[in-house]
């Protein structure tokens, strides 16, 4: 994809650059739990600073609804950024103003006022047609930052010319979140491995009893249709399930944990793929040419249901295939297992990476390509 690059901005010495980053980091009690998204923007920041630009960064943080929320103040991010990139200014949380999500023209004007150029390095937010993402390229010479450019290159590369066999490993709770990307991936993958809560809606489509497992009834027909159309989809062959009375995250509440087949008795909830599935899926991943992983295999926050996700994360780390992992929960799982450094590309975007794989484009990328002013 032909995106304007930093070099296309021409000489930035002494110019005031507005940098949209995705500093939407996880916070706990006002402390940053994982600063990966801040560190990921450093190559772009360094390039700009080294070339003499005066950088003002901006980002959203969480989902305040157009008004200030003290807990979502950008202050913790500002402190961390000051350590990593001294001298770079950071605006307050963009979503404290309703103009950001509304893509309001006056808000865009305030953002670009007094600036000479705009850089979008907010890959994780580029699927949002929000003011700071799509507005500035209509007013300022604009470019993609290094992180954004790399994310697009890797994800579109996977979509357009993957090393084969191309294996996608998808998990997560809800199939409704992933139907679009499943459809798009079925056009290109050799094998689509399905785990996590979403597998149960597929099992229902096949006529299995899933006990009290999570099922999206309104997606059963879509799942049946996908299974009819494609033989690339592989589902788990065994399940780790929690018996009646058990509670997720509360081992002391009791409830038996058992490895079962794919038919579960009533009262039982499937919460992880079983050891057989973990081994089968791992073999497929170890033999792949490229692997895309998005979504955990089970409720890995509960140690009783972490084994499937851990085994598959290890396979993704061990395979010689080119490995790409989506942001969000799968990134968190990799980090928890100490495997974040073992993959080729760990995306900073959850929703954005899925939408780019699905659509082949994002509002933020379109805005950069169509920007009225270059260089
Ligand atoms: C993310 O964390 O997925 C991005 O920062 C986008 O945030 P949003 O889903 O609140 O738009
Ligand atoms: Mg999100």
Q: Which H, E and C letters describe 182-218, residue by residue? A: HHHHHCCCCEEEECCCCHHHHHHHCCCCECCCCCCHH
Q: Is the CB of 137 within 6 Å of ligand 1?
A: no
The mean pLDDT value for 322-332 works out to: 90
Q: What pLDDT is stored for residue 31 in this prediction? A: 95
What residues have CB less than 8 Å from 32, skipping those under 6 apart? Answer: 25, 26, 38, 76, 77, 80
The mean pLDDT value for 184-207 works out to: 97
Split at pLDDT 50, 70, 90, the class of 373 is low
The atom of ligand 1 lying closest to the CA of 24 is 5
Q: What is the pLDDT of residues 140-180, one digit of tens each?
A: 999 999 999 999 999 999 999 999 999 999 999 999 989 99
Specify burial of residue 210 (Cβ count, 10 A radius: 0-12, 13-18, 19+). buried
The alpha carbon of 178 is separated from its chain's Cα centroid by a whole number of angstroms, namely 12
Q: Which ligand sits closest to the CA of 21?
A: 1
Which whole-number Å values give the CA distances from 281 to 18, 113, 249, in the listed order? 45, 53, 26
Q: What pLDDT is stored for residue 164 in this prediction? A: 98
The alpha carbon of 144 is separated from its chain's Cα centroid by a whole number of angstroms, namely 19
Q: What pLDDT is stored for residue 111 in this prediction? A: 98
Nearest to 318 by CA among 337, 294, 332, 297: 337
Q: What is the pLDDT of residues 254-275, one digit of tens each?
A: 999 999 999 999 999 999 999 9
Rounded Cα distance, 254 and 243, in Å: 9
Nearest to 243 by CA among 265, 222, 224: 265
Pocket test for ligand 1, best of 20, 21, 22, 62 (most atoms within 8 A of CB): 22
Catalytic site includes residue 351: yes
Q: Is the CB of 22 within 6 Å of ligand 1?
A: yes
Q: Is the CB of 100 within 6 Å of ligand 1?
A: no
As a whole number, the mean pLDDT across the chain is 96
Pocket test for ligand 1, best of 351, 362, 363 (most atoms within 8 A of CB): 351
pTM of the model: 0.93
Pocket test for ligand 1, best of 350, 352, 354, 362 (most atoms within 8 A of CB): 350
Nearest to 117 by CA among 23, 54, 59: 54
Q: Is the CB of 351 within 6 Å of ligand 1?
A: yes
Catalytic site includes residue 350: no
The mean pLDDT value for 203-224 works out to: 98
The mean pLDDT value for 360-365 works out to: 98
Q: What is the pLDDT of residues 16-55, one digit of tens each?
A: 999 999 999 999 999 999 999 999 999 999 999 999 999 9
Q: 185 pLDDT exceeds 80?
A: yes
CB 347 within 8 A of CB 151: yes
Rounded Cα distance, 354 and 143, in Å: 22
Q: What pLDDT is stored for residue 375 in this prediction? A: 42
Split at pLDDT 50, 70, 90, the class of 193 is very high
Catalytic site includes residue 328: yes
Catalytic site includes residue 243: no
């Amino acid at each position: 994809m032909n995106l304007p690059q930093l070099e296309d901005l021409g000489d930035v010495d002494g110019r005031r650059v507005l940098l949209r980053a995705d500093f939407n980091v996880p916070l706990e009690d006002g402390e940053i739990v994982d600063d990966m998204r801040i560190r990921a923007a450093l190559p772009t920041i360094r390039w700009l600073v080294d070339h003499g630009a005066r950088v003002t960064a901006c980002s959203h943080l969480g989902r305040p609804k157009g008004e200030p929320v003290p807990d979502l103040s950008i202050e913790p991010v500002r402190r961390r950024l000051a350590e990593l990139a001294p001298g770079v200014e950071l605006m307050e949380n963009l979503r404290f103003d309703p103009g950001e999500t509304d893509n309001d023209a006056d808000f865009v004007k305030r953002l670009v006022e007094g600036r000479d150029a705009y850089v979008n390095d907010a890959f994780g937010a580029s699927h949002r047609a929000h003011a700071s993402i799509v507005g500035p390229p209509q007013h300022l010479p604009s470019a993609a930052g290094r992180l954004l450019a790399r994310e697009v290159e890797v994800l579109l590369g996977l979509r357009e010319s993957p090393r084969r066999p191309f294996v996608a490993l998808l998990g997560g709770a809800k199939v409704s979140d992933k139907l679009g990307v499943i459809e798009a991936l079925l056009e290109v993958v050799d094998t689509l491995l399905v785990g996590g809560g979403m597998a149960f809606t597929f099992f229902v489509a096949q006529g299995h009893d899933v006990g009290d497992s999570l099922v999206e009834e309104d997606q059963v027909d879509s799942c049946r249709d996908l299974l009819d159309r494609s033989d690339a989809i592989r589902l788990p062959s065994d399940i780790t399930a929690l018996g009646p009375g058990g509670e997720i995250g509360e081992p002391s509440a009791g409830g038996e944990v058992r490895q079962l087949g794919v038919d579960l008795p009533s009262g039982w909830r499937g919460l992880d793929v079983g050891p057989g599935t973990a081994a089968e899926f791992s073999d497929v991943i170890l033999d792949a040419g490229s692997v895309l992983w998005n979504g955990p295999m089970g409720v890995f926050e509960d140690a009783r249901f972490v084994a499937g996700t851990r085994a598959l994360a290890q396979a993704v780390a061990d395979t010689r295939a080119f490995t790409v992992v989506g942001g969000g929960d799968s990134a968190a799982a990799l980090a928890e297992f100490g495997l974040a450094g073992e993959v080729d590309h760990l995306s900073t975007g959850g929703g954005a990476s899925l939408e780019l794989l699905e659509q082949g484009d994002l509002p933020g990328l379109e805005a950069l390509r169509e920007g009225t002013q270059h260089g």
